[in-house]
Structure 1
Amino acid sequence: MKKSLFTFLFFLLAFPVVWAQEVAQLTLNESILYAIENNYITKNARLETLISKATVKETTALGLPQINGSFNLDYNPMIPVVFLPNEPPFGDPSIPSDVIPARFGVSYSSGLGVTVTQMIFDGSFFIGLRAAKTLTQLTDFDLVKAENDVVENVKKAYFGVLVNQERIRLAESNLSRIDSLLKETRALNEAGFAERIDVSRIQVQRNNAYSQVERSRTAWEISKELLKIQMGMPLTVDILITETLRELNPREELIQLLAAEGENRVELDQLNTQIELQHYDLKYNTSQYMPTIDFNGNIRRSGAGNEINTVFDSNNWFGSSLLGVSMNIPIFDGLSKSARIQKNRYTISQLENQRFYLNDSFKNEIFSAKASLKNDLNILDVQLENLELAQEVYDIARIKYQEGVGSNLEVVDADGALTEAEINYLAALYDGLISKVNLEKALGLLKADLEN
């Protein structure tokens, strides 16, 4: 028992980080799925769809019978006085006044009733019901748009983490090269085959390389925090990404993407639904000129008494009921309905103009995104070739220096050129990844890519 407890305490003290922070291993698709479920934007969009469905039920309820009950218990401390003329045949000659005060009523009264109202005809109700259902469709499109935006943001943040991971690898590799060169140069200096300035020159290069490693690590940490925010993941959870840039961006996929025609954009569905809603609003305002017909009915039992204990005596309670149909006919409202109808027509024209612009804008967006991706791919090829050439130049300069036929300065310059080539390559790689996501968005393939 003591040995088991000692073993447990040993692991608890030896690995405190494992206990303190949870680590989540994620792929790109897993990150997207997590974000769609947990990002606050998609959460609110899903809640909005539920709100719209509740609105449909609320609108439907207006066409169902409206039943209300009522109960009252009243006490009159002073019963109201009614004045009657003091004239024959009901006059009282003993009263000198020309009026006789009389109290009509009792001290206590009570009543219990039920009222029923049923809409028979209201043109605006049916239009409002169809508009509420169309609003549900709009919130569904809004949810798709929110998910697409989250997919776009997560992809860009995920690629940022991958690029920074690659930047760390290259920076550490560069630091390792410089450390090796610095060690060799110090040995040569101690043996009298190299000057002190050669050591200092490489030490400066080494300090710059170390700074680049630290900056890369900081950028990596920041990019991970940004990814967690886009995903809606708690910041206390650490992220571990096992995928590589090569796995996520095969050349064949990029070529197919450049040849794709794209799908219908959800933004256009949103706009079409908004136009449809405006048409319903126009019909609703037009229907306000039509009369409305309602059925009304009520049944009531009332009782009264001069004492509280006699109010609920069955002998003092009597019933009454009413059945009727009412019609409300609009005649003149100061032309307010006419003004609302004009506003509806102007708004519809605005939305139709926006739809025309949106179609052209989508075409231009696709053209620009494809041109940017093609250009970035060409630049990436050039930078990759430049990186390979810079590596070759560095290797040759290093060999020449080791064999005593090259200078220390030549190696330092070659290393600086190699570092610059690595930075340019990573920048071109990141630009290409962002252009890919932008093209997927322009083609309407972000959601389709998730489903596949």
Structure 2
Amino acid sequence: MFSARFVVLTIVSAIFSSTQSLSAIAQSKPISPTVSKSQTVQLPDSLNPSPNPLDLPTSPEQVRSQQAQPITLQQAIALARKNNRDLQIARQTLQRSQAALRQVQAAQLPTLNTQAEIANERTARETLDDLKYLNEKSSPANVLSGTIEVGYDIFTAGRRPARIRSAQEQVRLERLEVERLSEQTRLDVTNTYYDLQETDEQVRISQAAVTNARRSLQDAISLEEGGLGTGFDVVRARVQLGNAEQELIDAQSQQDIARRRLVELLSLSETVDVSAADPVRQAGRWTLSLEDSILLAYKNRVELQQQLAQRRIAQQQRRIALAGVRPQVSLFANYQILDDFNDEFSFKDGYAAGARLRWNFFDAGTARFGAAQEDANRAIAETRFAQTRNQIRFQVEQGYKNLQANARSIQTATAALQQAQEGLEIARVRFQGGAGTQLDVIAAENDLTRADVNRLNAILNYNRALATLQRAVSNFSKSKSTNSFE
């Protein structure tokens, strides 16, 4: 008897020690954080928001915008990857999935539990026996009891490994989501930055139009005073100047809105205002063919990998569902002590060791229908894979065609701008010499403004198409594809 108890105690203590060591090893494995792409650009600390996400300003000084600080496109992208709220939520979701993985991995270790109880007992049966047989009241029993038990599931019909693999795929899915959002944020910031550049150029063009209109007004006044012009020419020039000033006001308003939109996207400090530091110029060239671009997109786009991860999750969830009607086997060993303080004996002990079998023979189809749901989820993931593949191809083709069209538009718009500048000079000289009319000057000014806007739109639309094509291919950088992007 003593040897059997000693064996049980030895087993319990050995499993307890191994549980502690395995748990320590598991906890020593760090959860690898998701690190965004490294940035070599310098980021001023004044742009970063408050580290407290629950911070809420309460005074006008805390929300009053300061003078706009110029930032480059690369700085804007780096700030977005650091501060963008959607990206932060995606990283936090990844951390939650990593913790859930650690939770299901803990099922690989044995469980150890203990309980102790001290009680003053007197049952109703004991009271009745006293009345029947002794006709006197016995003292209540003071009892101390305790149990320590270790258990381990040795066979789960595939449920435990399926849960672990499902959690691993969920972590992979969330990590891919962080990467997808990072790429999408880069595109959103790039387009918003180009929108800001467009409003800056619209302000410049409007200011130039106001300057030209004022010059035309001065010319009209001078000609009227010299007897070569009419009052109608002066009135028309004033109308032209008023229209140009109104367009300048509208452009400045759109510029302010574009700046605040970029600040919101970058999640910057409450008092920060930014402006575009980069000049408007053609961003680069794409030298890959359309076919190579499509194949590179199929290789790189994480959206396709996400659908494959969803498919694998559905497969593992199906195994979990079917395990509900399959046998489960576990081992257990426990050691108990009991002591009644009212008797003359010392504490008594006992033990138990064995195996348990659990088998749910009939569950009214719950497991089968759960497996059918996961079969449907797997089919949905496969269909979405095909749908996403078609969308990716269209995005690449759309960006590629737009890039080619806008490249030709830049050449045409640049030539038209030069001709419009020459035309305005000629019209102004003819008007000052009395050979032309004020209407010719106004038409030439309008042509110059239109040509300047067309060239601006051609360059920015080219840059937007290039950014869209980069996003469609994804994970595209100069460092690993120097032959494809210049």
TM-score > 0.5, shorter chain as reference: yes
Change over 3 Å in CA distance of 1:22–1:393 after alignment to 2: closer
**Distance in 2, Cα, partners of 1:414 & 1:355:** 55
**Amino acid corresponding to residue 111 of structure 1 in structure 2:** S
- Alignment partner for residue 37 of structure 1, among 82, 87, 93? 82
Query: CA shift at 1:148, angstroms?
Result: 0.9
The answer to whether the Cα contact below 8 Å between 2:325 and 2:363 also exists between their aligned partners in 1 is no
**Distance in 2, Cα, partners of 1:304 & 1:82:** 15
Aligned to 1:353: 383
Q: Quick check: 1:272 aligned with 2:308?
A: yes
- Alignment partner for residue 124 of structure 2, among 80, 88, 97? 80
Q: How does 1:324-339 map to 2 (within 5 A)?
A: 324-339=354-369
The answer to whether the Cα contact below 8 Å between 1:84 and 1:100 also exists between their aligned partners in 2 is no
Change over 3 Å in CA distance of 1:274–1:49 after alignment to 2: same
Give the TM-score normalised by structure 1: 0.82
Query: CA shift at 1:38, angstroms?
Result: 0.8
Structure 2: runs of 5 or more not aligned:
1-60, 482-486
**Distance in 1, Cα, partners of 2:143 & 2:127:** 22
Query: Match of 2:115, SS?
Result: strand
**Distance in 1, Cα, partners of 2:227 & 2:291:** 63
Q: Quick check: 1:379 aligned with 2:414?
A: no
**Distance in 1, Cα, partners of 2:361 & 2:79:** 58
Query: Match of 2:338, SS?
Result: strand
The answer to whether the Cα contact below 8 Å between 1:81 and 1:101 also exists between their aligned partners in 2 is no
**Distance in 2, Cα, partners of 1:289 & 1:79:** 41
Change over 3 Å in CA distance of 1:348–1:249 after alignment to 2: same
**Distance in 1, Cα, partners of 2:139 & 2:309:** 62
**Distance in 2, Cα, partners of 1:74 & 1:83:** 17
Query: CA shift at 1:105, angstroms?
Result: 8.0
**Amino acid corresponding to residue 111 of structure 2 in structure 1:** Q
- Alignment partner for residue 27 of structure 1, among 69, 72, 76? 72
Query: CA shift at 1:300, angstroms?
Result: 2.9
The answer to whether the Cα contact below 8 Å between 1:178 and 1:202 also exists between their aligned partners in 2 is yes
Aligned to 1:290: 326
**Distance in 2, Cα, partners of 1:381 & 1:217:** 28
Query: Match of 2:363, SS?
Result: coil
Query: CA shift at 1:174, angstroms?
Result: 1.6
Aligned to 1:121: 155
Query: Match of 2:108, SS?
Result: coil
Higher mean C-alpha deviation, range 373-382 or range 112-121: 373-382
Query: CA shift at 1:316, angstroms?
Result: 5.6
Q: Quick check: 1:448 aligned with 2:484?
A: no
Query: Match of 1:245, SS?
Result: coil
**Amino acid corresponding to residue 302 of structure 2 in structure 1:** V
Query: CA shift at 1:238, angstroms?
Result: 2.2
Change over 3 Å in CA distance of 1:316–1:404 after alignment to 2: same
The answer to whether the Cα contact below 8 Å between 1:69 and 1:114 also exists between their aligned partners in 2 is yes
**Distance in 1, Cα, partners of 2:84 & 2:480:** 18
**Distance in 2, Cα, partners of 1:402 & 1:105:** 126
- Alignment partner for residue 140 of structure 1, among 175, 195, 209? 175
The CA RMSD measured in Å over matched residues stands at: 3.1
The answer to whether the Cα contact below 8 Å between 2:65 and 2:272 also exists between their aligned partners in 1 is no
**Distance in 1, Cα, partners of 2:162 & 2:171:** 14
Query: CA shift at 1:58, angstroms?
Result: 0.4
**Amino acid corresponding to residue 34 of structure 1 in structure 2:** L
Choose 1 or 2 for highest CA Rg: 1
The answer to whether the Cα contact below 8 Å between 2:318 and 2:371 also exists between their aligned partners in 1 is yes
Aligned residues: 414
Q: Deviations over 1:160-217 (max 9, x none)?
A: 1111111111211121111122123223323333222211111111111111222111
- Alignment partner for residue 198 of structure 1, among 233, 236, 240? 233
Change over 3 Å in CA distance of 1:255–1:304 after alignment to 2: same
Give the TM-score normalised by structure 2: 0.77
Higher mean C-alpha deviation, range 211-220 or range 415-424: 415-424
Q: How does 1:95-244 map to 2 (within 5 A)?
A: 106-122=140-156, 123-244=158-279
Query: CA shift at 1:35, angstroms?
Result: 0.6
